[in-house]
Structure 1
Amino acid sequence: MHRFDELLAGDFLCSNPDGTLIDRVQFLEQTARPVVIKGLVAEDVRIRLFGDVALIHARTRYQTASSDERHGRYTDVWVRRGGKWLAVSAHVTR
């Protein structure tokens, strides 16, 4: 969680797979909970730079607690602020 605290902008928002939109504080609380998936792998990662904005698209593969294999995608938006890259947005699907 400490690493997320360093990387997320104060105005960060995340769209979750269930359709909820959560802010930075809620995301940090969500990621602090015990993980119920295992073997999370990011594949087909594509990074596109537009000056001080970066878009990251990737496919994910993971196993559920019952060992079923699942797939998803995520898109992150990063912005360079004060010489530091910060995540401002995430969209996750499963």
Structure 2
Amino acid sequence: MLIAALLAAALSGAPGALPADLAQAAHEYDEAQVKSDRAALERLLAPDYVLHNSQGQVQDKTSFIADQIAPGYKLEPFVVEEKVEKVMGDTAILGGVARAKGTAGGELYDVRLRFIDVWAKRGGRWVVVFSQATRAPKS
């Protein structure tokens, strides 16, 4: 799986790789979304987390997690393409393009999203503080 290979490279300290603790947190965040893991999402999102979603709405941490764990919601595993990885001390910008497929409210969805997650290292651990998602043309 691509995510596992990327994580292994990051954890090995390869040149240009993300810090190991950030790579691990990013991997856990992706997994938490796919597994609708409330506890992991609570841990990985900052209390003041804000999402500007692909429907033009602004969501806070509580609202985002509620959507992720709602009955009838399922996100299939995804691969991030056109990666963006910028680390500036205790702040990082991770993003790219991902095809999000699954169900929401019992309805199938299949969208391609260009996204950015802003991470901050707080209290010695990385948390997502802001996300932006924009629908991208299907390729």
TM category, shorter? 0.7 to 0.9
Matches within 5 A, 1:20-59: 20-33=57-70, 34-35=72-73, 38-59=76-97
1:89 and 2:89 correspond: no
Larger Rg: 2
* 8 Å contact kept, 1:76–1:87: yes
Percent of paired sites with the same residue: 27
Q: What secondary structure is seen at the aligned counterpart in 2 of 1:13?
A: strand
* 8 Å contact kept, 1:64–1:70: no
Letter in structure 2 aligned against 1:15: H
Letter in structure 1 aligned against 2:86: R
Corresponding pairs, count: 94
Distance 1:62 1:21, change over 3 A: closer
* 8 Å contact kept, 1:44–1:59: yes
Using the size of structure 1 for normalisation, the TM-score is 0.83
The structure, 1 or 2, with the larger RCO (C-alpha pairs under 8 Å, 6+ apart) is 1
Matches within 5 A, 1:60-71: 60-63=98-101, 70-71=111-112
What is the alpha-carbon distance in structure 1 between the residues aligned to residue 64 and residue 109 of structure 2?
25
* 8 Å contact kept, 2:54–2:113: no
Structure 1 residue 54 displacement after superposition = 0.2
Equivalent residue number for residue 114 of structure 2: 73
Query: 5+ unaligned residues in a row in structure 2: which ranges?
Result: 1-37
What's the CA shift string for 1:30-83, capped at 9, x where partnerless?
111233554532222221001110001211124466988642111000001111
Distance 1:30 1:51, change over 3 A: same
> CA-atom RMSD, angstroms?
2.2
Distance 1:10 1:67, change over 3 A: closer
**Is the strand fraction higher in 1 or 2?**
1
**Is the helix fraction higher in 1 or 2?**
2
